[in-house]
Structure 1
Amino acid sequence: MHIKRYNIGATEKVVCLHGFTGSSSTWEEVISYLPSSVEILAIDLIGHGLTEKPVDATRYDVEEQIEDLHAIFQQLEWAHFTLVGYSMGGRLALAYTAKYPVDRLILESSSPGLADDEERQKRKLSDELLAERIRKEGVISFVDFWENISLFQTQKKLSPEKQTVIRKERLAQSAVGLSNSLKGFSTGVQPSYWTILKDITIPVLLVVGELDLKFCAIARRMQQELPNSHLEVIEDTGHAIHVEKPKIFATIIKKVILEEEER
């Protein structure tokens, strides 16, 4: 897996996992606001960025990705870190935390999956159709569609320059990687983690944008299940808080780390 490390050797460790169509580059502005006392590890998840894009969709399975992450942490000898995950990356961060120890968890606009079997099947079929569309029509056509879905409407308020950066990151993806990511690691394919939330006792911060009504509702449900959680709703912001309000998101990370240091 392709990784980027910042402030190597710093005491505090933070791992950042991007969302679907993203890469480690999505965190660069947030990282620019973080102090040099924090080492950051940003990872290109399988099928994205500069990480491999296997043609076998089963390689994208959540358990495979959990072990990919664990291998990296073992290689770096990281035993204590804060795990940050956005959207798809948040699902993976939660799945990793359910299996391996993590000091703290920050979930941005994410979910534990779908508890209802019928909902999962519908989502699986929907994502398979979208995956085939990507294969047939290509990345440019898909990005034209993707950047106009309701989830990302608030990004239209960003500067033209910033919108260009986001689009460029999406266009840098591959049809094989995106298609197989949907097939192998969609919300309809991965297990539901709703029932295990009660067993996660580490501090968990749930961050959502005020304008992202769907994920605000999901986060409130998660907060009721997680025994050591806090919910932070960011005003006038949509799904991708780290993109729309990077300085605020960096402040949230710093606050989480400092609060734990003081305890």
Structure 2
Amino acid sequence: MNLMVRSVNLHMKRYNIGAPKKVVWLHGFTGSSSTWKEVISLLPSSMELLTIDLIGHGQTDKPSDSAYYFVEEQLRELHALFQQLEWTHFTLVGYSMGGRLALAYAAKYPVDALILESSSPGLAGEEERQKRKLSDELLAERIMKEGVISFVDFWEGIPLFHTQKRLPVEKQEVIREERLAQSAVGLSNSLRGFSTGIQPSYWDVLSELSIPVFLLVGELDLKFCAIARRMENELPNAKLVVVKDAGHAIHVEKPKIFATIIEKVILEEE
């Protein structure tokens, strides 16, 4: 289904409409609602699930102005969407880039709980932020110049996704097709507007979040394991779950384990 929210046409999928427990899912960079398909198939019908194609991704609008991608704009659109749907109590799940957005949303608006998969609060140091901003700008230019296929070839080769090469070929092809379905404009502007070099750091906000926050990381993803442990120390109500033999995308590499964790978290909120 599609809904016009403010000035953006958002694409989303709803499952088990009317179920008592409500869960919103935000995908990562180069992803879409489809990234959650296998996990959702493993969850009970007692949860109403809403998956959203974030701006620049999937079937949602891909504006040519990168200002539409700023975190502040995305937060306003998400909040307006939830108001349209009359959702006031829900758990917010975010993976990687979607986790950054989920955390930013929870810092501004009420949610029942956060489930952050392989996510970070951003970059705290100004020098580090400037380096990342420049790096993402160069990558955005590369996408526009060389196209999506060339970029996906590069993206699949970065160390963050090496563990995905162990997956069955059929599954790797599904992941690649989802990435190839993106647009150059959408991906490049997502980097320009929602880079961790552009987005404000939320490290200082963590201590103020009293809601339950579940930090999910794969044990083979050393970088995000370290980030999650730092976040756990800052958050007053956090639980860290390290999934064995998994990398960055736990929901892709270990969907049954991921679904089990989600179900347990939601049920524990009752």
TM-score range, shorter chain: over 0.9
Deviation at 1:232, TM superposition (A): 0.2
Structure 1 position 244 matched with structure 2 position 238: no
Counterpart for residue 49 of structure 1: 58
Counterpart for residue 74 of structure 1: 83
Deviation at 1:260, TM superposition (A): 1.4
Structure 1 position 8 matched with structure 2 position 17: yes
Structure 1 position 183 matched with structure 2 position 192: yes
Kindly provide the amino acid, as one letter, of the partner of residue 161 in structure 2.
F
- Mapped partners of 1:191, 1:258: distance in 2: 33
Write out per-residue CA displacement over residues 219-243 of structure 1, whole angstroms, 9 at most, x where no aligned residue: 0000000000000000000000001
Structure 1 position 17 matched with structure 2 position 26: yes
- Mapped partners of 2:103, 2:183: distance in 1: 26
Kindly provide the amino acid, as one letter, of the partner of residue 56 in structure 1.
D
- Mapped partners of 2:144, 2:157: distance in 1: 19
Structure 1: segments with no counterpart, 5+ residues? none
Structure 1 position 139 matched with structure 2 position 131: no
Kindly provide the amino acid, as one letter, of the partner of residue 16 in structure 1.
W
3-state secondary structure, aligned to 1:2: strand
3-state secondary structure, aligned to 2:245: coil
Write out per-residue CA displacement over residues 63-85 of structure 1, whole angstroms, 9 at most, x where no aligned residue: 00001111110011000000000
- Mapped partners of 1:35, 1:125: distance in 2: 44
Kindly provide the amino acid, as one letter, of the partner of residue 161 in structure 1.
E
Kindly provide the amino acid, as one letter, of the partner of residue 119 in structure 2.
S
RMSD: 0.4
Q: How does 1:188-207 map to 2 (within 5 A)?
A: 188-207=197-216
Counterpart for residue 87 of structure 1: 96
Kindly provide the amino acid, as one letter, of the partner of residue 217 in structure 2.
V
Which of 172, 181, 185 is the equivalent residue of 1:163? 172
- Mapped partners of 1:191, 1:103: distance in 2: 23
Compute the TM-score of the two structures, normalised by the length of structure 2. 0.96
Counterpart for residue 46 of structure 2: 37
Counterpart for residue 138 of structure 2: 129
- Mapped partners of 1:93, 1:260: distance in 2: 18
- Mapped partners of 1:254, 1:46: distance in 2: 27
Deviation at 1:7, TM superposition (A): 0.6
3-state secondary structure, aligned to 2:55: coil
Kindly provide the amino acid, as one letter, of the partner of residue 108 in structure 2.
K
Kindly provide the amino acid, as one letter, of the partner of residue 4 in structure 1.
K
Task: Calculate percent identity across the aligned residue pairs.
Answer: 79
Compute the TM-score of the two structures, normalised by the length of structure 1. 0.99
Counterpart for residue 58 of structure 1: 67
3-state secondary structure, aligned to 1:46: coil
- Mapped partners of 1:100, 1:258: distance in 2: 22
3-state secondary structure, aligned to 1:168: helix
- Mapped partners of 1:163, 1:18: distance in 2: 17
- Mapped partners of 1:240, 1:29: distance in 2: 13
- Mapped partners of 2:195, 2:248: distance in 1: 18
Aligned length, in residue pairs: 261
Write out per-residue CA displacement over residues 12-46 of structure 1, whole angstroms, 9 at most, x where no aligned residue: 00000000000000000000000001010000000
Kindly provide the amino acid, as one letter, of the partner of residue 230 in structure 2.
R
- Mapped partners of 2:69, 2:268: distance in 1: 35
Deviation at 1:151, TM superposition (A): 0.2
Which of 224, 228, 242 is the equivalent residue of 1:215? 224
Deviation at 1:110, TM superposition (A): 0.3
Deviation at 1:259, TM superposition (A): 1.1
3-state secondary structure, aligned to 1:255: helix
- Mapped partners of 2:225, 2:22: distance in 1: 28
